[in-house]
Structure 1
Amino acid sequence: MTHPPGTARARAQTLDRFLEVARGGSAEAAFRVASLGRARPDELTGSMPATALRTGADGWPAVGGLGVLVDDVLGFAIIAAHPALAWSVSAEISIDVLGPLPREGELHVTARASQSSRGRGFASCEVRSDSGALVAMGRQHGRYVAGPAERPTTHVDARAGSRDAVQLSETLGLDEIPHGGSFALRLHDPRRWANALGNVHGGASLAASEATATHAAAPGNRALRTTSVAISYLRPAPVDAALTFRAQPIHRGRSVEVLEVVGSSGGRVCTHARVTRQSA
């Protein structure tokens, strides 16, 4: 995309300030997101250790663990595409898994925006292993909003209590709760996952949705693993009240499962996700 001449340096400085806000986030610290930055003027990059994904209840590396990194890199690609570098919030995010997620080494994400208007933007990304193998692809629809100059005071350290976590649900601080016959996990302290706007980080909501689906999947069926997650953000999830994720199976078969996961706070739906699990 092209921008007015003579503004490249000012744009780069502004984007660097935005990136600095994100780098100080507790969600980024918990998943050890690193190297958020620009590879080229039209590309945003980031990385994380594969071990920071944790595992799902099925024993496989958790696809939801990619949520924070993918959300950050896609979001900043959308920000960089706006002529005035407006802040953006996630409207939809999807992750499609193309190969086994590694259990060691680094995961590297590169994103580029392909559409930007006054109100909305769109970006896609690739997730690769250290060897260069393409393991996943992501996309995001974003909405432009007024952004913060610095992190909100609700920010707390999400690393506390998660350093020794094995499962993704432990990292997030999710607990199982009774929920009228369906399976539900509750995020009791969303403050740990506040983003720069003071709401629950979209990548954390994606992670919690995928973790809930994995826990709710057919018991003992370890032959299936998550192959795609698609989540819509219907309203900001507040950080001052518990957030509940309820999973409902849509289809259960030998080779494929599809689950719907609804995230709500105070009786109001905040997120709606569809998680597909297929045979390896």
Structure 2
Amino acid sequence: MSEPQYNGPEPRLGVTFAETSDGDITWHQPVEGQFVDPSGRFATGGLAVLVDSGLGSQNHRRRPSGMWTVTTELRIDLVAPPRAGSSGLGIRTDHLGGDERVLTTRGDVIDDDDTLVAAATVKSMEFAVGGDAGEMDDEPPWPSKLEQGTLAELLCVTLNEKSDGPGGTRAVEAVIAPEPALTNPLGNLHGGVFAAVAELAGAAVFPHERQVSSSSLEVRYIRQVPLAEPVTVRAEVIHDGRNWGIAQSTTLDERGRVCAVASVTVYGQR
């Protein structure tokens, strides 16, 4: 009997990998509707699963025996959206090393003509797991199961605008439905999915008359985010200037503790 194929957010977004003859790994993501937010804007969050998986895998391959890794920090700085007519994106990685606790890899997201699209960094923390951690590494390359739709549709997200009363804080709440295909191998919300949703909500906080292009996304993962129930990511304005703005996106657990927080920086004049 054949092993069940991985059905996480990577194949859902068309993200695939292949091992080269020299043992390295290449990654690919098509440029389709998964980079479009509900307003039609190019969404930097569409890069998050590719970055988390591609750079995180470089850290994971270098962990000590008997250990597992989870992403603790992720950063993406958009240089320019993919060019019109692009067929897909890849990643160049540069593993920087580790200190027996945290592993760090930086990399470039590149267009199919080798043009730089974004610079990224992923930090991963090592921790011990029960049983043989190596058995969880035997996942063969999965086929693309790209679904059509906008990024919010593919990530099962509903965006709701909020306001804390007259003149209050402008906010957007993004609610992620408990779709099993959005989890990581440990069964929690995939870090790249949270990052993507945090960027969607953070950019949506700004007025629609503003020409918003996301410039950077910085995420810190504090504790695991179960997906047994819908997960709410709340974004609020930190700064809304004439030429640029900053939003903060946060998700809490049932005890009110912060599980993950993201900073979304956008440029664009009103």
TM-score bucket of the superposed structures, by smaller chain:
0.7 to 0.9
Q: For this pair of structures, how many residues does the alignment match?
A: 249
Equivalent residue number for residue 34 of structure 1? 16
Which residues in structure 2 correspond to 1:43-58 (within 5 Å)?
A: 44-51=25-32, 53-58=34-39
Match runs of 1:157-172 below 5 Å: 163-165=147-149, 167-172=150-155
Question: SS in structure 1 opposite 2:83?
Answer: coil
1:253 positional shift: 2.0
Among 230, 252, 256, the alignment partner of 1:242 is: 230
Is 1:173 the counterpart of 2:150 in the alignment?
no
CA distance in 2, matches of 1:235, 1:90: 10
* Structure-1 separation of matches of 2:66 and 2:105: 15
Q: Is 1:101 the equivalent of 2:82?
A: yes
The 3-state SS of whatever aligns with 2:56 is: helix
2:190 is matched by which residue type in structure 1? H
More helix by share: 1
Match of 1:7 in 2: none
Cα 1:83–1:94 shift into 2, 3 Å: same
Q: Following the alignment from structure 1 to structure 2, what is the Cα–Cα distance between the partners of residues 32 and 164?
A: 10
In structure 2, relative to structure 1, the CA distance for the partners of 1:126 and 1:39 (3 Å cut) is: farther
Alignment of 1:215-254 (within 5 A): 215-221=204-210, 223-254=211-242
Aligned residue runs from structure 1 range 45-194, under 5 A: 45-51=26-32, 53-84=34-65, 86-103=67-84, 104-145=86-127, 146=129, 147=133, 149-150=135-136, 163-165=147-149, 167-177=150-160, 181=164, 182-194=171-183
Local SS of the residue matching 1:50: coil
1:257 maps to which residue? 245
Distance 2:191 2:35 in 1: 18
Q: CA 1:83 to 1:112, structure 2 compared with 1: closer, same or farther past 3 Å?
A: farther
TM (norm. structure 1) is 0.80
Distance 1:81 1:194, change over 3 A: same
Q: Which amino acid letter does the alignment assign opposite residue 172 of structure 1?
A: L
Q: TM-score, normalized by length of structure 2? A: 0.83
Aligned partner of 2:234: which letter? Answer: R
Structure 2 match to 1:3: none
Task: Name the structure 1 match of 2:193.
Answer: 204
Which residue of 2 is the match for residue 278 of structure 1?
A: 267
Name the CA shift for 1:251/1:57 in 2 (closer, same or farther; >3 Å). Answer: farther
Tell me the alpha carbon deviations over residues 219-245 of structure 1, each in whole angstroms, 9 at most, x when there is no partner: 221x22001000000100002122111
Question: Which whole-Å CA distance do the structure 2 matches of 1:240 and 1:257 have between them?
Answer: 33
Q: What does residue 141 of structure 2 align with?
A: none
Change (3 A) 1:85 1:248: same
CA-to-aligned-CA distance 1:135-189 (integer Å, 9 cap, x gap): 10110111113347349xxxxxxx6xx8331x31121111134756332111121
Structure 1 unaligned spans of 5+: 1-19, 152-158
Q: Are the aligned partners of 2:35 and 2:44 in contact in 1 as well (CA < 8 Å)?
A: no
What is residue 140 of structure 2 aligned with on the other side? none
- Alignment check: 8 A CA contact 2:13 2:147 kept: no
Cα offset, 1:49, TM superposition = 0.2
CA RMSD of aligned residues (A): 2.7
Return closer, same or farther for 1:249/1:95 CA change in 2, 3 Å cut-off.
Answer: same
Q: Distance in 1 between matches of 2:49 and 2:251?
A: 17
Is 2:42–2:213's contact at 8 Å kept on the other side of the alignment? no
Question: Following the alignment from structure 1 to structure 2, what is the Cα–Cα distance between the partners of residues 230 and 110?
Answer: 19
Q: Which residues of 2 match residues 7-22 of structure 1 at below 5 A?
A: none
The DSSP-based 3-state class of the residue aligned with 1:211 is helix
